[in-house]
Amino acid sequence: MNLDISNPNEFGIKTNLLEIHIKINNLKKKITNSPHNPVLWVEIARFYSILGQDKRAEKALLNALYLAPENRYILRSISRFYVHIGDFDLAHDIIRKSNLTKIDPWLMATEIALATLRERNSIFTKTGIQLVNSNNFHPFNVSELASSVASVELKNASVAKSKKLFQQSLICPNDNSLAQAEWASQEDRSLMNVDPNKFNLVNSFEASAREFFDGGNWQESINYSKKWFFDQPFSKLGVLFGNEVASRKLRDNNQAVEIAKLGLISHPHDPHLLNNIIYALSLQNKLNEADHFLKKIKKEDLNSRNYIGICLTATTGLLYFRKGFHDLGRKYYAEAIKISSEEKLTYLNSLAIINYIREEILIGENVQEAIPTIDKIVKNNVGKDIAEDAKEVLELYKKSIL
């Protein structure tokens, strides 16, 4: 067996997962010969993360940290892992408390990014700007630092400062700083235009996924989102991005399911991925399979009033409608609409209404009173995907009354 796990087209067949275990065993044999090599432990952790075995991945990373407590690569790897499992505090503390962070631009960039993630002010922001402007480092070595500080300035509405720092980050970027600049250019078009293809980076998968998305090349965007995931299995962002493109842009529910299932290998209980799988399967009327994944949802996730909880409630309503239990479907949709309204989550509220009205039309119910609400959603969301969803419901309604 010679499986290339970096190739999404060859990955995902469960029998092929044996190849990953073989790679892990080979790395462990190398450790026997090189017991003080922390990088081998990081590689083992990466493979365990792909398999969704977080406890074993953590143990491997802690071994690496023990061997090299002040190593940039090890510190960044373990902080990325803790972000992946949701322990942002520990991820931040490991970087913030390292003596190396005070002088290393790479670790400083990580600390600033983690502080921003925790909605805190970094103690290194001012120092970071000084390092970027000091000319004491090659542009590549301050690329991520410039990008991290630029993101802080953008968040603080200092567009001019942010633009200058992003431009500095692109003098000689790596894949992370390029992806961050690409994201920022989409958030604020006045900042800059970024073409990842001009930089010829080996692993600029995220940036390429976003660039193809920006150019409307949906399938290539999906392809690179898969590569992004395999390059960074600690994070589910790659598969969520690809799933969204398949679902919202291509309207390809089958591909949307396949991509989300890919993410379940390393994130087997993730409610966001499970919700998206159930939703796409229900739209295809693959109800038994959708039921199978619904049973994997934890009660606390379904009952939550947060973003994912509301999505899960509405998606459960969709599944019940498709199974013929219309009153139960109405109950769940009503709950999702009510909570999203109370929480002032306008997008989710509109999305739940659109999906609910579509299901009522499909079973022949009179929805005339709801049509003005759908019209309003179209008018309030010109140029957005949700407006297209609403238009589809309006077309469905027109056909139903002919």
Is 130 found in the same domain as 83? Answer: no
Is 6 found in the same domain as 92? Answer: yes
Is 165 found in the same domain as 89? Answer: no
Q: Which residue has the higher pLDDT, 329 or 21?
A: 329
Is 155 found in the same domain as 69? Answer: no
20 is a domain residue: yes
| The domain boundary residue, chosen from 186, 201, 216 | 201
Cβ density class 212-230: b for 16+ within 10 Å, e for less: bbbeeebebbbbbbbbbbb
240-247 mean pLDDT: 96
328 is a domain residue: yes
pLDDT band per the 50, 70, 90 thresholds, residue 197: low
Is 139 found in the same domain as 75? Answer: no
pTM over 0.85: no
241 is a domain residue: no
Is 90 found in the same domain as 136? Answer: no
For 355, the domain range is: 297-401
**How much of the chain exceeds pLDDT 70, in percent?**
94
pLDDT digits (tens, 9 = 90+) for 366-392: 999 999 999 999 999 999 999 999 999
Q: Does the structure show a pLDDT above 80 at 4?
A: no
Exposed / middle / buried, residue 56 (Cβ in 10 Å: 0-12, 13-18, 19+) = middle
154 is a domain residue: yes
The two tokens of residue 193 are 């235009």
CATH of the domain at 73: 1.25.40.10
Is 183 found in the same domain as 151? Answer: yes
Is 131 found in the same domain as 83? Answer: no
Query: Are 178 and 204 spatial neighbours (Cβ–Cβ below 8 Å)?
Result: yes
pLDDT digits (tens, 9 = 90+) for 94-120: 999 999 999 999 999 999 999 998 989
Is 393 found in the same domain as 301? Answer: yes
Exposed / middle / buried, residue 100 (Cβ in 10 Å: 0-12, 13-18, 19+) = middle
206 is a domain residue: no
140 is a domain residue: yes
pLDDT digits (tens, 9 = 90+) for 344-355: 999 999 999 999
| The domain boundary residue, chosen from 140, 172, 201 | 201
**Domain count within the chain:** 3
| The domain boundary residue, chosen from 171, 201, 231 | 201
253-282 mean pLDDT: 92
201-210 mean pLDDT: 77
Is 389 found in the same domain as 312? Answer: yes
pLDDT digits (tens, 9 = 90+) for 177-189: 888 888 888 777 7
213 is a domain residue: no
166 CB-side CA count, 13 A: 26
317 is a domain residue: yes
Which of 46-55, 170-179, 246-255 has the highest average model confidence (pLDDT)?
Answer: 246-255
Is 125 found in the same domain as 69? Answer: no
Q: What pLDDT sits at residue 11?
A: 52
Is 304 found in the same domain as 370? Answer: yes
